């Protein structure tokens, strides 16, 4: 459904503004974004679209095409623990910035799956902030929007994420990847080689970042950073590397993952720039091994899906996103992609292509 038409059907009037943002898949660079490292996400074709207007009340009225019910929440309502928190949090941030105050009617249309590790929440928040900035006639930048969107997740939702998702959905378009250095937010948009085929496959296991496991990994990285006296766990000097052996085993493994993942991501960026598919694939595969064994964020279902993808011809396959379920991303020559995906899904009845 077109979000403007959905808004008219729901509220009986035309919206004041519409905006959108894509989902994203992270090709390589997991949990490096809040540890001062590099990431390489790419935009999906799937998008979150919003249409909204002021409603001259103190209520935020939210309707999504995915759900039958219309939800009403007062302006300034604290987090409730349901999906509408992301919309309310984004509007709360927009009000704090002076972009859009008071009650709002909001219609949401999305084909970005939630619980899949492809940034549906970041896309929703970003789309709402984009719309609010236009209503407020504010001149801003994609980087500033990304920073505000991250603040919504950190401060309102309580999710200690880095800034990769918000930068990716704000700066990348379909067919392009975002080479981002999270230590200083410098970035370059890279064209994905036309003969490379990436497929995002949902494992059938819903990923819930709010269940505590993502936060536990974040806190382990913070503990390691405090012990090693660094704000950038991805970029240790020789003295700090030598000190790794004195860390508890779990902290040593988490540090080893983010440190080596940062280096893999830098090498992968170079490989993509010159179109070296085999080098890029080898880095993706090593990334999954590290993510599964050192960061311990994979699951048996995910590992089986990765192994089967490789056995039937994928050049690379790895868990993508925050971990503990969700999606894998596979790499294969583009002319073999559709046949490969069909065979993989035939083997995994609960999996589906994003």
Active site residues: 165
Could you give the CA distance from residue 123 to residue 110 in angstroms, rounded to a whole number? Answer: 9
Q: How far apart are the first and last CA of the chain?
A: 18
Per the CB < 8 A criterion, the answer to whether 119 and 24 are in contact is yes
Query: Strands 196-202 and 17-28: what pairing?
Result: unpaired
* Cα separation, 145 vs 94, whole angstroms: 10
CB 178 within 8 A of CB 189: yes
């Amino acid at each position: 459904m077109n979000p403007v038409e959905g808004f008219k059907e729901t509220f009986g009037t035309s919206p004041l503004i519409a905006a959108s943002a894509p989902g994203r898949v992270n090709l390589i660079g997991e949990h490096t974004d809040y540890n001062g490292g590099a990431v390489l996400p790419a935009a999906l074709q799937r998008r979150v679209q919003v249409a909204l207007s002021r409603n001259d009340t103190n209520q935020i009225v939210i309707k999504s095409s995915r759900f039958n019910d219309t939800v009403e929440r007062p302006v300034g309502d604290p987090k409730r623990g349901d999906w509408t928190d992301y919309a309310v949090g984004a509007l709360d941030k927009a009000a704090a910035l002076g972009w859009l105050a008071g009650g709002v009617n909001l219609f949401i249309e999305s084909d970005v799956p939630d619980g899949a590790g492809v940034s549906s929440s970041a896309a929703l928040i970003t789309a709402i902030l984009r719309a609010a900035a236009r209503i407020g006639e504010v001149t801003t930048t994609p980087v500033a929007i990304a920073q505000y969107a991250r603040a919504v997740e950190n401060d309102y939702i309580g999710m200690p994420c880095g800034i990769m998702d918000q930068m990716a959905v704000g700066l990348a378009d379909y067919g392009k990847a975002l080479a981002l250095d999270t230590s200083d937010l410098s970035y370059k948009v890279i064209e994905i080689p036309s003969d490379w085929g990436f497929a995002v496959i949902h494992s059938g296991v819903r990923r819930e970042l709010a269940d505590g496991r993502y936060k536990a990994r974040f806190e382990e990285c913070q503990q390691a950073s405090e012990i090693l006296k660094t704000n950038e766990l991805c970029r240790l000097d020789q003295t700090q590397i030598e000190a790794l052996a004195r860390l508890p085993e779990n902290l040593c493994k988490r540090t080893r993952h983010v440190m080596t993942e940062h280096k893999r991501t830098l090498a992968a960026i170079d490989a993509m720039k010159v179109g070296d598919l085999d080098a890029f694939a080898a880095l993706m595969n090593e990334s999954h091994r590290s993510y599964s064994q050192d960061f311990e964020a994979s699951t048996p279902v995910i590992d089986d899906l990765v192994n089967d993808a490789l056995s039937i011809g994928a050049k690379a396959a790895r868990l993508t996103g925050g971990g503990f379920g969700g999606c894998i991303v596979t790499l294969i020559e583009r002319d073999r992609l559709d046949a490969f995906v069909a065979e993989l899904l035939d083997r995994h009845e609960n999996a589906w292509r994003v």
